[in-house]
Amino acid sequence: MKSKTILILGGYGQVGTEAARLLLLESGADLLIAGRNRQKAEQTATALNRQFPGERVKGACCDAADRKSLEPLFREARLVLVCSSTAKHTHLIAETAISCGTDYMDIHFGAAVFNELKKMEPAIKKAGRCFITGGGFHPGLPALLIRYAAGFFDEILSARVAGLMNIDFSSYRAGESTQEEFVDELADYQGRYYKKGRWKKMNMLTGQGIIKAGFGKGYGNKYCAPFFLEELRSLPQLYPQLKDCGFFIAGFNRVTDYFIMPLVMLGHKILPVFLRPSLSRLLTGSMKKYSRPPYGYVLTCDAEGRKYGQQKKWSLRMEHQDPSFITAVPVVAFLKQYLSGETDQPGLWLQAMAAEPRRMIQDMGRMGLKMIIKESGK
């Protein structure tokens, strides 16, 4: 019989704690909360057990860089949910999962993690394990929203997802390793989008590829740059009539976008590794100093296509104030499908492409993500 336990690496971090709370609410899973600090893990487990009866949560200590500390925890679990800022340890975590017979899900966004797991795909399949990468909000939702939108048309012709993240730093508590990882992932940035049936690259000088997207009340219209996510890659094959698509992200604030980010990206290329923490401090410091309310996370999807021979438009907007909640909700909505056996097949999958979109959207709405959908003729 399969274990009921989900191990959450980084389970007392911002996203990990929220994912744990929602999993206790939404599933029958038992949880093992782990990170390098045993005391924090045990305190979080105690707090969750007080909130949810049944002693379903245990705290444990492990370091994602140390296989010996991972193995006993992995053997206890059906799946490891990686909510830790441990992208650089992906190979070791994945190898341990394969050898211990544990399934895997992460919420990383850099191309490096996907490429590492892709190399391991034959071993993942051979071991009969299910690996899901790119979980969360973005990555995790843009391609899923486009797949969801496609269900409203006979032929989907264009679909554009735009994201805005305006973080309120007065309540932001990400650890240093998370902030450093954010800089590493930014340095991996690819400004690609799909236009007139071809993948194109953004041109910073001409502004080609930059769009203006409306984020609604308080946020207004913002310029957004294309942000390639692995989950977008196969959409044109899936929907041959789709000629324009992409994920576009709004900036943080002018100082960060125009001065600090280029400096940080250049610094990441030329500075020695030991100086990288100063880049993440510079980036976080500028976001803290210059970001202004309203704070919140917004995703919009605008699609056009044909239905019964008529041109139609469709749009969706989702919003939440809490970045950890908006990240954890899609993870847990996906895991509900995994736990029910719908998405637990052996292989390497992306959350946005493996999930059943309709149920996922319904579950996310029920869990508290505000969503508004509009349909109209052209």
Ligand X SMILES: NC(=O)c1ccc[n+]([C@@H]2O[C@H](COP(=O)([O-])OP(=O)(O)OC[C@H]3O[C@@H](n4cnc5c(N)ncnc54)[C@H](OP(=O)(O)O)[C@@H]3O)[C@@H](O)[C@H]2O)c1
Q: Count of CB atoms within 10 A of residue 347's CB?
A: 13
Give the closest residue to 164 by CA, choosing from 241, 82, 224.
224
Least gap, CB of 84 to ligand X (angstroms): 3
Query: And the tokens for 316?
Result: 């969706």
Least gap, CB of 359 to ligand X (angstroms): 19
Closer to ligand X at the Cβ: 103 or 181?
181
Least gap, CB of 240 to ligand X (angstroms): 29
Give the closest residue to 49 by CA, choosing from 29, 12, 28, 24.
24
Query: And the tokens for 43?
Result: 């305190």
Give the closest residue to 150 by CA, choosing from 355, 323, 307, 335.
307
| H or E element, residue 35 | strand 30-35
How many Cα atoms within 13 Å fall on the side-chain side of residue 180? 14
Least gap, CB of 108 to ligand X (angstroms): 6
Q: Which residue is nearest to ligand X (CB)?
A: 13
Least gap, CB of 36 to ligand X (angstroms): 3
Maximum alpha-carbon separation in the chain = 62
Least gap, CB of 80 to ligand X (angstroms): 11
Least gap, CB of 141 to ligand X (angstroms): 8
Closer to ligand X at the Cβ: 228 or 239?
228
Give the closest residue to 121 by CA, choosing from 289, 348, 302, 311.
348
Q: Count of CB atoms within 10 A of residue 302's CB?
A: 20
Give the closest residue to 211 by CA, choosing from 254, 167, 243, 246.
246
Closer to ligand X at the Cβ: 59 or 139?
139
Strand duo 155-166 + 103-106: pairing: unpaired
- Which residues are 30's β-sheet partners? 5
Closer to ligand X at the Cβ: 85 or 158?
85
Closer to ligand X at the Cβ: 42 or 244?
42
Give the closest residue to 362 by CA, choosing from 330, 339, 335.
330
Closer to ligand X at the Cβ: 173 or 217?
173
Closer to ligand X at the Cβ: 63 or 71?
63
Contact residues for ligand X, defined by CB under 6 A: 9-10, 12-16, 35-37, 62-65, 83-86, 107-109, 136-140, 174-175, 177-178, 181, 327
Closer to ligand X at the Cβ: 16 or 59?
16
Q: Burial letters for 111-142: b for 16+ Cβ neighbours within 10 Å, e otherwise?
A: bbbbebbeebeeebeebebbbbbbbbbbbbbb
Distance, in Å, from the CA atom of 81 to the CA atom of 68, rounded to the nearest integer, reads: 18
Phi, psi values for residue 222, rounded to 5°: -135, 150
Least gap, CB of 82 to ligand X (angstroms): 8
Distance, in Å, from the CA atom of 120 to the CA atom of 130, rounded to the nearest integer, reads: 12
Least gap, CB of 64 to ligand X (angstroms): 4
One-letter amino acid identity for 270?
I
Closer to ligand X at the Cβ: 107 or 369?
107
Structural contact between residues 104 and 97, judged by C-beta atoms closer than 8 angstroms: yes
Closer to ligand X at the Cβ: 6 or 242?
6
Least gap, CB of 341 to ligand X (angstroms): 24
